[in-house]
Structure 1
Amino acid sequence: MPGATAVGITFDGGVVFASEKRIAYGNFLVSKTTKKTFTLTDKVGTSVAGLVADMQILVLQIKALAKIRKMELKRDVPQNSIAKMMSNMMYERRFFPLLTQVIVGGVVGKPTIYTLDPLGSVLPDEYAAVGTGAEMALGVLDHQFKENMSEKDATDLAIKSVKAATMRDSFSGDGIDVLVITKQGAKEFTEKL
């Protein structure tokens, strides 16, 4: 299975997602510019690791479902609802699963994130890492995460944790995409390695 590293962190007033840009399959480097962080709505985003086609189809379908749900509710769809939509979709495909791990979160209400495995298990957390570099990223996150961090501190920690993973995980590298979501909206940027 292709490797990757993706992290999600809550902070005082928002969530930050970061992922590296490399897609490697076995010993073959497929791409150095793959996007693995996505906005799903104005206030909810995701960071994913796994097969690229599975990531992309999951994100496209959830974006469409979230738009429909927003029209039905006539308000923003909370991140726990979007996580449950993803969970249902992944569980329905359990016999032929989407080979992807997901961190989804947002700022509808209190900033929260959820981690999903390929079968759709939903686990709430304050910070998380998925992919082949998750162990290295969690080594940094476990020691340096604090509740109610500032946006800058959380963003710096997300970048630092993904950088740590790229140092030891040959499936991760080639830059870091960062997505920050606050009540004011989402902003994205790329950090060079």
Structure 2
Amino acid sequence: MSMYMPGATAVGITFDNGVVFASEKRIAYGNFLVSKTTKKTFSLTDQVGTAIAGLVADMQILVLQIKALAKIRKMELKRDIPPNSIAKMMSNLMYERRFFPLLTQVIVGGVVDKPAIYTLDPLGSVLPDEYAAVGTGAEMALGVLDQQYKPGMKEKEATDLAIKSIRAATMRDSFSGDGIDVLVITKEGTKEFTEKL
């Protein structure tokens, strides 16, 4: 059985002091370009973010539900929710919907104690990693990441590498393109910016 996954490319990288997420902005469905300005990187809490590839509606509903659940959990525990807990919340939500899955591939991560990222498939498997790529351009992005990632990178190096890997994917994947959204999360907080291709 093959599942139709709309195109996109998103990456996540850990560095010495936090995590960086990057994704391109194009939404294509078949050979039709639907949008050139779609956001696929999201801040979930002050210390946790996500980059997602897949169906936009599924992506948006997942982010809304997880943001709400994380807020409730934070009020219950009276402390920041670590990335592994948010990854588990996402996993549970996606697994509950396994017969009508959310057609998304997710990279979620952040920094509470130390930087961490996790990859989730549409059924909710949680795989920890130091860097990851999802979507139709993932192979091209991983080609760059595998070669150039090193543990303990500085923020600028990791950000530049994330942008470079998305650029590589957009050169060969017709479903990816139209600019790059970047989200950087450190203990000090989050910053977001957009890069042109």
TM-score, structure 2 as length reference: 0.98
Q: Distance in 1 between matches of 2:191 and 2:79?
A: 21
What is the aligned counterpart of 2:86 among 61, 75, 82? 82
- For structure 2, the residue ranges without an aligned partner over 5 or more in a row are none
**4+ runs deviating over 2 angstroms:** none
Corresponding pairs, count: 193
Quote how far apart the aligned CAs of 1:126 are.
0.1
Gaps of 5+ in 1: none
Q: Superposed, which structure 2 residues align to 1:54-133 within 5 Å? A: 54-133=58-137
Whole-Å Cα distance in 1 between the matches of residues 114 and 78 of structure 2? 19
Q: Which residue of 2 aligns with 1:18?
A: 22
Structure 2 letter corresponding to 1:145: Y
Aligned equivalent of 2:178: 174
Q: Deviations over 1:129-171 (max 9, x none)?
A: 0000000000000000000000000000000000000000000
Q: What corresponds to 1:47 in structure 2?
A: 51
Structure 2 residue 12 is matched with structure 1 residue 8: yes
TM-superposed deviation, 1:176: 0.1
The corresponding residue for 2:163 is 159
- Determine the structure 1 residue equivalent to 2:196: 192
- Give the distance between the partners of 1:162 and 1:149, measured in 2 at CA: 18
Q: Which SS does the other structure have where 1:41 is aligned? A: coil
Q: Identity over the aligned pairs, expressed in percent? A: 90
1:164-192 deviation per Cα after TM superposition (whole angstroms, max 9, x unaligned): 00000000000000000000000000000
Q: CA RMSD in A?
A: 0.3
Please report how far the alpha carbon of residue 127 of structure 1 lies from its aligned counterpart in structure 2 after TM superposition.
0.1
- The SS at the match of 1:69 is helix
